[in-house]
Amino acid sequence: MTLERCRQNLIELLTDPDNHVIALSGKWGTGKSHLWGEVQAASKDEKIKNAVYVSLFGLSSVEELKLRIAQGVLPKLQENSPLVDSIKVGITGVKKILKSIHSGFSALDELALIAVPMLIQGRFIVIDDIERKHADLSIDEILGFIDGSVQNLECRFLLILNSDELEDKTLWDLFREKVIDQELRLDTSSSESYDIAANLTSTAFGTQIKPAVEACQITNIRVVRKIIRVVNRLLANRTELRDEMLRRVIPSTALLSAIHYKGIDDAPDLDFVLQFENSYAAARTKQTKGAGDETAETKAHERWRLLMDKLGILGTDEFEALVVNYLKSGLFEGEAVGRIIDRYSAEGRELSARNSAQAFFERSIWHPEILDPELLADLRAMLLDVPLLNMFTVTSLYNQAIRLAGGAALAQEIVDTWLAAFRAQHPAGQEEVFDPDYNSFRQPLHPAIEAAIRAIQGRQQTNVTLLQVCQKVRNDHGWGQRETNYMRSVEPRDYEAAIRSVTGGDLKLVLLQSMDFLKNRANYDPHFGGATQSFLDACRAIVLGDPNARIGRLIHDLFRDAGLEAQLIVPAAVIVPANTAPPAEIPS
């Protein structure tokens, strides 16, 4: 039951003296101890207000439990009280002398055995963390002590535990029937958990954190408090941020924190969140597959996409990467976070454009009742803001537009508009340096956009030649960032020009090393991108252009000797005249 209902029921059970043993169970962190504290503070019953609280965490024997109870009772006693006098008389056989009441007794073991019955007579005792006891302390010992104290010493008990985590559930169920009078299970709602957590850990961002906690269905108060602390740390002194900025950063921060602190059942993995982009394109891809194509992974991804949608997360970028780094390392990169937040604040129009794109995807995919002309009108209204979108979102818009009746021209206009702005922002000599892994997650990208980026990369690598790359790979058995950038930008015409521009040993090196690239594509393609395919296309062009030229025959013979002749897609009879003898093998 929810927190409020459980509170009322617990108060009613405590009011009835015939309920000697009450159990309050629920998952970890859902506020069981907090609930007891509130009920105790509000109670007018002196025994409940003076209840003794004991945690079983790590206790390995009943004697230790008795000692903890005694230590809980001692501060509540007044010196020279009748009870203290009785205790002193009761342990006169113990030769060690009692110290002062509030510093405890010196003979603690004797106290546990002799004085505890007098200390706990008629008391209300709360035993918490039963599932976290030491393995040496069995459930039957605990419940046996409780039953004896109820029967012989008129005690009452409240047991607080996560019964789902008990090691010996069978024994617990058996003794629960015999010892426990009433049991309540607390199922705190995520809203209640947030309210408790926010009362314990204040925040200026509750308006955004609470909906995120509710969307993730987080009920562990400790996890919610950690989420609040993470948000407070990342957004320190930024309470002036507009709501749209907070909606951009807080939901993903809350989700990543909840994943890290294990506060969500069936949580997305961190990589899924960090790679989350073009989710609607992914959803469209899933729609085109048959039901038989579904796997456990695709089903999980679908559930996670629904959660991301519920949180209002449109995509993730370097901000989420910084959050993950902070969660894992504890190192706060305040300047980096500040720069990103400042950039977000300065990009209000861009955020609006992203929201418009997201709304279009929502309408075009999930509202089949909307007619194509209306969707095309939505797209045309977005044209002015297209340059503010990233290349992947623009590609998705193109793919959606091309599917609409009469949308081909507008689809091309979207790409052309983005490319015009992109080229204006990257004039020759001032181009942005693109990491070769700018599309490391292999998201769909329009060919014209990819070509524009590769052209920039190629211009930035003019001080590198294909021959130099082949020399470095051969001599060093490796390559650097410069070589990687060049190979990722090289196109078939570049490869053909390089082959035709060298001769002798240099030609031998370029062709043999490139053949090695081709034969071991699995090793090179992840680093060099399409360079291997560019080499193959260049060779095809040379052979097809003049198959009887010496360079064409040389390339054909190389492919034949490597067992890759079929890849040239050129009949051997065209290359080697019938009246000539087969050429000798090319030496390696």
Q: Which residue is associated with the tokens 């507008």?
A: 410
Question: Is there a domain that residue 587 lies in?
Answer: no
Characterize the bridge pairing of strands 52-55 and 21-25.
unpaired
The answer to whether 197 and 36 have CB atoms below 8 angstroms apart is no
Alpha-carbon distance of 460 to 393, in angstroms, equals 26
**How does pLDDT run along the chain (588 residues), one tens digit per residue?**
678 889 999 999 999 999 999 999 888 888 898 899 999 999 999 999 989 999 999 898 888 888 888 888 877 665 545 555 555 444 444 334 444 444 444 444 555 556 778 788 899 999 998 888 888 888 888 889 999 999 999 999 999 988 777 777 777 777 777 888 998 998 889 999 999 999 999 999 999 999 999 999 999 999 999 999 999 999 987 878 888 889 889 999 999 999 999 999 889 988 899 888 644 444 444 444 444 557 888 888 889 989 998 998 888 888 999 999 999 998 888 888 888 888 887 677 777 888 889 899 999 989 999 999 999 999 999 999 899 898 999 999 999 999 999 999 999 999 999 999 988 887 755 555 566 566 666 788 899 998 888 777 666 655 678 998 999 999 888 888 778 888 888 889 989 999 999 999 999 999 999 999 999 999 999 889 889 999 999 999 999 888 788 999 999 999 999 999 889 874 443 344 333 344 434 443
Nearest Cα residue to 105 out of 86, 93, 91: 91
Question: Whole-model pTM?
Answer: 0.55
Query: What pLDDT score was predicted for residue 437?
Result: 60
Question: Which pLDDT does position 463 carry in this prediction?
Answer: 62
Q: Do 199 and 176 fall into the same domain?
A: no
**One domain for residues 332 and 282:** yes
Same domain, 427 and 465: no
Closest to 391 measured CA to CA, from 273, 525, 277: 277
Q: What are the residues facing 156 on neighbouring strands?
A: 124
**Residue 185 backbone phi and psi in degrees, to 5:** -115, 125
Handedness of CA 140, 142, 145, 148 (dihedral sign): negative
Q: How many CB atoms lie within 10 A of CB 25?
A: 21
- Report d(CA 40, CA 47) in Å as an integer: 10
- Is residue 580 situated within a structural domain? no
- CB 31 within 8 Å of CB 106: no
Question: Which CATH number covers residue 121?
Answer: 3.40.50.300
Which residues partner with 54 through β-bridges? 127
pLDDT at 84: 55
Tokens of 194: 């947030």
pLDDT for res 367 = 92
State the pLDDT at residue 244.
80
Q: What is the pLDDT of residues 114-156, one digit of tens each?
A: 677 878 889 999 999 888 888 888 888 888 999 999 999 999 9
What is the structure's pLDDT at 450?
A: 87
Per the CB < 8 A criterion, the answer to whether 154 and 121 are in contact is yes
Boundary residue ending a domain (294, 321, 346): 346
Q: State the Cα torsion 177-178-182-188 to the nearest 10°.
A: -50
Q: Are residues 17 and 145 in the same domain?
A: yes
Q: What is the pLDDT of residues 256-307, one digit of tens each?
A: 999 999 999 889 988 899 888 644 444 444 444 444 557 888 888 889 989 9
Distance CA(468)–CA(473), nearest Å, equals 9
At which of 285, 318, 346 does a domain end? Answer: 346
> Nearest to residue 228, comparing CAs of 248, 213, 249?
213
Structural domain harbouring 362: 348-457
Alpha helices by DSSP H, listed for 492-564, are 492-501, 504-519, 521-528, 531-545, 550-561
Statement to judge: residues 50 and 177 lie in one domain:
yes
Q: What is the model's pLDDT at position 324?
A: 92
**Residue 413: which H helix or E strand, with range?**
helix 408-425
DSSP-derived 3-state class of residue 160: strand
Farthest CA pair distance, the chain = 125
Whether residue 18 is found in the same domain as residue 159: yes
469-478 contacts, C-beta under 8 A, 24 or more apart: 470/509, 470/510, 470/513, 470/514, 471/509, 473/513, 474/509, 474/513
Asked whether residue 581 is domain-assigned, the answer is no
Q: How far is CA 298 from CA 282, 286, 292, 302, 304, in A?
A: 10, 8, 11, 6, 10
Query: pLDDT at position 22, please?
Result: 93
Helices of type H across 330-390: 334-346, 348-366, 372-381
Phi-psi region of 180 (alpha: psi -120 to 50; beta: other; left: phi over 0): beta
Q: Does 172 share its domain with 40?
A: yes
| pLDDT tens digit sequence for 368-388 | 999 999 999 999 999 998 998
Q: Is 223 helix (H, G, I), strand (E, B) or coil?
A: helix
Statement to judge: residues 293 and 194 lie in one domain: yes
CA distance linking residue 341 with residue 253, whole number of Å: 13
Q: CA-to-CA distance for 257 and 552, rounded, in angstroms?
A: 60
Cβ atoms of 1 and 184 within 8 Å: the answer is: yes
Same domain, 7 and 144: yes
Assess contact for 125 and 155: CB atoms under 8 A: yes
Q: Which residues of 384-410 are buried (b: 16+ CB within 10 A; e: fewer)?
A: ebbbbbbbbbbbbbbebbeebeebeeb
The dihedrals phi and psi of 21, each to the nearest 5 degrees, come to: -130, 120
Angle CA 458–347–440, to nearest 5: 40
Q: Is 582 inside any structural domain?
A: no
For residue 523, is it within any domain? Answer: yes
Could you tell me the two tokens for 358? 């997201």
Do 202 and 329 lie in one domain? The reply is yes
Give residue 219's identity as a one-letter amino acid code.
T
**583 belongs to a structural domain:** no
Q: Say what the pLDDT of residue 585 is.
A: 42
> Is residue 329 situated within a structural domain?
yes
Q: Which of 315, 346, 377 is the last residue of a domain?
A: 346
Q: Quick one: 489 and 448 in the same domain? A: no
- Residue 422 burial (10 A CB sphere; 0-12, 13-18, 19+): middle
Total structural domains within the chain: 4
318 and 358 belong to one structural domain = no
> DSSP secondary-structure letter at 480?
-
Distance of CA 168 to the CA centre of its chain: 34
